[in-house]
Amino acid sequence: MTIATTYRAKRPLILWAAGFVCLCLQATAGAAIPIQQWTQPGGAQVYLVESPAIAMLDVQVDFDAGTRRDPAAQAGLASMTMTMLDKGLEAKNGEPAMDENALSEAWADLGAQFGVSATGERLGFSLRSLTDPELLDKAVALAARQIAEPSFPGAIWQRERERMVASLKESYTRPGSIIARAYAKAVYGTHPYGYEVTEATLARISIADMRAFYSAGVVACRARVSMVGAVTRAQADAIAARLLSRLPQVPCASLPPMPQVPEVAPLAQAEEKRIPFDSAQAHVLMGQPGFKRDDPDYFALTVGNYILGGGGFVSRLTREVREKRGLTYGVYSYFSPGLHAGSFTVGLQTRPDQADQAVALVREVVKDFVAKGPTEAELKDAKDNLVGGFALRIDSNRKLLDNIASIAWNGLPLDYLDTWTRQVDKVTVADIKAAFARKLQPEKMVTLILGAAP
């Protein structure tokens, strides 16, 4: 489960600024992107790209406390904890308490945006503000309070839990949600990536559980702070320190190590599961555990998957399944690498009476691609598209910040963005064939078919 909450600015100026920055970054997308990195005395790691063209700053603060650290019996703990982060602040350090309405109004009055999120691996906080000294100072101060002093009001948690239970019940009527839950369980087994949030797991989560989870995971010395904007290194260092200043200042060396999360187990054998559902379309998901983000095969697998099913209408799966046989309007494949082996997934929808034919063809295409790799012509077209579209990956402050935060989180080289197109360009057919042979086992993939005719 992934959640995200963002306070929107009242003032149109910050929206105009965002568009202006987009144009500035498009103009400089081909230039080197100098990423500065340093570690603060307290242990927090800071990453900065100075962008002085417009007076705006984007910040991302991440902690290793995502849903992979949920207890199995309390699946959803990380997500629900972050859901409560915008529901009020404690009265502390001479500052008054704030309820959810007062907090929302405070952000709106600043014309700034603040967001919280929980993904499979991270708890994240994002801040966007103009760098006018008075506005930025207030925005950073309020963000520091929200990071360190959430109030976790009990009555609000009861309301939010009821809302979440209602959302879960509604999701049980949607075929996409049903098959996605079953697929995650089939691919990941007992790994936290495959945990399912249910009414029972939500019922086991208390305010005390959320407070304990949050205090254990959100520790200043373990923060990774990424910034893009019109600030100097000295200013960025001061902002990072202030954002974390209200958290307990405990040296990481004095803390116990974070509990190890097991790796995703490989699949032992193929499995096909049919899920009855009255639907006009049969939904199909097929796949297996893939690879970790720091795998040296990353670029070969990225380029190869673009050819196989990630390139939309120019992919091999689309050509074989849609264009030649007319079995679907759309078919796709993707890898989702993380700190653990995220899934390799093929997905499509088709007429219920064509599901078996479509599944058989997808298996054949994937098996052939793993065995033989792409053609030289397919590789050239993929490189042209990927290299030519690289500028779109960093054409806004937010996109650039997302890339910087990914570099920080995954420990990638600081010149990663500068060398990205060269890494793509040097991939060969042999590289793709070897990488896919190492990572994928078509004979062991799971296949889930929802709504097909018996």
The model's pLDDT over 145-172, given as tens digits with 9 standing for 90+, comes to 999 999 999 999 999 999 999 999 999 9
Please tell me the least confidently modeled range out of 24-28, 55-59, 105-109, 130-134. Answer: 24-28
Provide the pLDDT for residue 21. Answer: 42
Extract the tokens encoding 200.
């029972």
DSSP 308: I
The stretch 327-332 carries a mean pLDDT of 96
Q: Encode 385-406: b = buried (16+ Cβ within 10 Å), e = exposed.
A: bbeeebeeebbbbbebbbbbbb
Categorize the per-residue pLDDT at 18 as very low, low, confident or very high, splitting at 50, 70 and 90: very low
Burial of 189: CB neighbours in 10 Å, binned 0-12, 13-18, 19+: middle
What is 371-400 written as a DSSP string?
A: HH---HHHHHHHHHHHHHTGGGGSSSHHHH
Provide the pLDDT for residue 337. Answer: 97
Mean pLDDT of the chain: 93
Extract the tokens encoding 84.
């409560």
Same domain? For 180 and 44 the reply is yes
Same domain? For 245 and 278 the reply is no
Provide the pLDDT for residue 10. Answer: 43
Q: Is residue 263 part of a domain?
A: no
Extract the tokens encoding 47.
């990453």
Provide the pLDDT for residue 20. Answer: 41
The stretch 16-25 carries a mean pLDDT of 42
Higher pLDDT pick, 248 / 243: 243
Same domain? For 196 and 282 the reply is no
Taking the CA atoms of residue 23, residue 128, residue 66 and residue 1 in that order, the dihedral angle to the nearest 10 degrees is -70
pLDDT at 359 over 60: yes
pLDDT at 15 over 60: no
Provide the pLDDT for residue 29. Answer: 44
Provide the pLDDT for residue 23. Answer: 40
CA of residue 219 relative to chain centroid, distance: 21
* Residue 64: domain span: 3-254
Same domain? For 100 and 137 the reply is yes
Provide φ and ψ at 172, rounded to 5°: -70, -10
Categorize the per-residue pLDDT at 13 as very low, low, confident or very high, splitting at 50, 70 and 90: very low
| Tokens 């078996």 found at | 356
CA-based end-to-end distance of the chain:
31
The structural domain count of the chain equals 2
Categorize the per-residue pLDDT at 311 as very low, low, confident or very high, splitting at 50, 70 and 90: very high
Beta strand spans in 222-312 (E): 224-229, 271-275, 282-289
Q: Which of 220, 254, 288 is the last residue of a domain?
A: 254
The stretch 116-144 carries a mean pLDDT of 97
Provide the pLDDT for residue 32. Answer: 80
Q: Is residue 40 part of a domain?
A: yes
Q: Is residue 319 part of a domain?
A: yes
Same domain? For 188 and 284 the reply is no
Q: Encode 407-443: b = buried (16+ Cβ within 10 Å), e = exposed.
A: bbbbebeeebbeebbeebeebebebbbebbeebbebe
Q: Is residue 136 part of a domain?
A: yes
Pick the most confident of 16-25, 246-255, 359-368.
359-368
The stretch 398-419 carries a mean pLDDT of 96
Q: Which of 254, 279, 305 is the last residue of a domain?
A: 254
User: Which residues, in sequence order, are CB contacts of 53 under 8 Å at separation 6+?
Assistant: 20, 21, 24, 230
Is there a contact between 451 and 281 (Cβ–Cβ < 8 Å)? yes
DSSP 53: T
Same domain? For 29 and 145 the reply is yes
Q: Is residue 265 part of a domain?
A: no
pLDDT at 35 over 80: yes
Provide the pLDDT for residue 363. Answer: 98
Provide φ and ψ at 75, rounded to 5°: -55, 130
Indicate which CATH number applies to the domain containing 438: 3.30.830.10
d(CA 270, CA 442) in angstroms, rounded, equals 8
Categorize the per-residue pLDDT at 452 as very low, low, confident or very high, splitting at 50, 70 and 90: confident
The string of pLDDT tens digits covering residues 62-105 is 999 999 999 999 999 999 999 999 999 999 988 999 999 999 99
Q: Is residue 266 part of a domain?
A: no
User: Which residues, in sequence order, are CB contacts of 159 under 8 Å at separation 6+?
Assistant: none
Provide the pLDDT for residue 4. Answer: 58
Categorize the per-residue pLDDT at 178 as very low, low, confident or very high, splitting at 50, 70 and 90: very high
Bridge-based pairing state of the strands 56-63 and 45-50: unpaired
Provide the pLDDT for residue 9. Answer: 47
Same domain? For 199 and 286 the reply is no
Provide the pLDDT for residue 239. Answer: 98
Of the candidates 280, 265, 248, which has an alpha carbon nearest to the alpha carbon of residue 194?
265
Provide the pLDDT for residue 2. Answer: 55
HSE value, Cβ hemisphere, 13 Å, CA-based, for 206? 3
Q: Is residue 110 part of a domain?
A: yes
Provide the pLDDT for residue 221. Answer: 96
CA of residue 150 relative to chain centroid, distance: 23
User: Which residues, in sequence order, are CB contacts of 437 under 8 Å at separation 6+?
Assistant: 370, 371
Q: Which of 207, 224, 254 is the last residue of a domain?
A: 254
Same domain? For 248 and 281 the reply is no
d(CA 281, CA 450) in angstroms, rounded, equals 9
Provide the pLDDT for residue 93. Answer: 86
SS3 406: helix
Same domain? For 189 and 282 the reply is no
Same domain? For 224 and 373 the reply is no
pLDDT at 14 over 60: no
Provide the pLDDT for residue 1. Answer: 53
Same domain? For 31 and 161 the reply is yes
Q: Is residue 260 part of a domain?
A: no
Provide the pLDDT for residue 5. Answer: 60
Categorize the per-residue pLDDT at 52 as very low, low, confident or very high, splitting at 50, 70 and 90: very high
Same domain? For 283 and 184 the reply is no
